[in-house]
Amino acid sequence: MLNISEKTKKILEKSIDEPLSYDDALYLMNVKGHDINGLIATADLVRDEIVGNNVTFINNWNINFTNICSGTCGFCAFKKNDGEDDSFFMSIDEIVDIAKEVHKNGATELCIQGGLHENVDAYFYEDIVKNVKSECPDVHLHAFSPMEIYYGSKQAELSVDETIKMLKKAGLGTITGTAAEILDDDVRKVICNGKLSVAEWEDVVKTAHRNGIRSTCTMMYGHVETLEDRVKHMEILRNIQKETHGFTEFVPLTFMHENTPIYQRGKASPGATGVEDLKVYAISRLMFRDLIPNIQVSWVKLGFKFAQTCLLAGANDMGGTLGEENISKSAGASYGVSTEIENLKSIIKDIGRTPAIRDTLYENIKEV
């Protein structure tokens, strides 16, 4: 039997039937020893009750159409200046050619994102969406972060609402939930000064949701933030979801530090520990429960072995086959940028769970 402290035991027993409070979540962020095992086991139990034994994934492909960016993100090693070695900017024809090829090979979702280039605006995003959907009408376009939507709107002198409506009409399916990082303006001043504020991020996401464009939600952690910041971030996401019900999944993104400017300047820690990662997965499960039922493991950042462990701590989704994921790779991730469906199936079966392929919105799920 595990020797779990009485306070932890009481909180975990309560969490089986109701969402964690902010205070209880913060307490669990600090537990040690056997209390960690109790937390993980409870999260796995709640996961089973809410989403069952399936571990889902999607056949998708990432297209990063440019790495030329005017952004100020200290955690990004992907950014290049215009004219710099290895900088690139894909034409729309090049984007469409990739889309046609990968869709022909089975990809049902395309994730399209790029840097904040001076020649990019909301109308450029519209052209991407229209041209890809013209050639691949059945593919789901999961594209553009809240930062890109905000930037593209400003560039085109449109409101965020006008941009979202325009992109939806063109065929956009969902937007990504990145650019959230940590939803605290003081933290953001350190890691991405000049990026959209917490209020601006919330506005883009809520506007998308009101227009019927759903999104993922993310948290990038393990750099300069406190444990309180992590819990506050998840509380903000929870409150948004109570209002809009527009999030499809929560994706914890552990900070990849190695090649990032902020770490090389000595301004950030070298990422979260493995125990911290497990706590984030477990606590997010107990905070979100069925409000955000899908919690995704980023195997690109964690590796397949540790991804399996996180699936035992409350997570239920393995993301996708990805194809190309250059942003994590640039920052120092060393676990590859693509995988095969058979590999994901094997990893999932190894922990006694059932692999299931899904669509972007988790509406069509098929065990495989």
Q: What pLDDT, in 10s, does the model give residues 69-92?
A: 766 675 666 667 777 888 999 999
Tell me if 337 is assigned to some domain: yes
For residue 62, count other CB atoms closer than 10 A to its CB: 24
CB neighbour list of residue 342: distance below 8 Å, 6 or more residues apart: none
- Predicted local distance difference test score (pLDDT) of residue 270: 87
The more confidently predicted of residues 326 and 32 is 32
- Predicted local distance difference test score (pLDDT) of residue 327: 45
Q: Domain range spanning residue 347?
A: 19-367
Tell me if 264 is assigned to some domain: yes
- Per-residue pLDDT band for 338 (boundaries 50, 70, 90) equals confident
Tell me if 24 is assigned to some domain: yes
Q: What percent of the chain shows pLDDT beyond 70?
A: 92
CB neighbour list of residue 76: distance below 8 Å, 6 or more residues apart: 69, 260, 261, 327, 330, 331
Per the structure block, which two tokens stand in for 73?
């993100």
pLDDT tops 50 at residue 328 = no
How many domains does one find in the chain?
A: 1
Q: How far apart (Å, rounded) are the C-alpha atoms in residues 26 and 175?
A: 30
Here the CATH number for the domain that contains residue 127 is 3.20.20.70
Residue pLDDT, tens place only, 249-286: 999 999 986 667 777 677 788 889 999 999 999 999 99
Tell me if 7 is assigned to some domain: no
Q: Find the mean pLDDT for residues 321-339.
A: 57
Please name the residue ranges forming H helices in the chain: 6-15, 22-29, 34-51, 92-104, 122-135, 146-156, 160-170, 185-191, 198-210, 227-244, 261-264, 274-288, 299-302, 304-311, 326-331, 341-350
pTM for this prediction: 0.93
- Predicted local distance difference test score (pLDDT) of residue 336: 54
Q: Find the mean pLDDT for residues 148-168.
A: 98
Tell me if 89 is assigned to some domain: yes
Q: How far apart (Å, rounded) are the C-alpha atoms in residues 145 and 208?
A: 11
- Predicted local distance difference test score (pLDDT) of residue 70: 66
**Which strands form 174-175's sheet, in the order they lie side by side?**
60-64, 109-113, 140-143, 174-175, 214-221, 247-254
Residue pLDDT, tens place only, 35-49: 999 999 999 999 999
Tell me if 254 is assigned to some domain: yes
- Predicted local distance difference test score (pLDDT) of residue 335: 47
Tell me if 135 is assigned to some domain: yes
Tell me if 50 is assigned to some domain: yes
- Predicted local distance difference test score (pLDDT) of residue 259: 64
Per the structure block, which two tokens stand in for 218?
């993310």
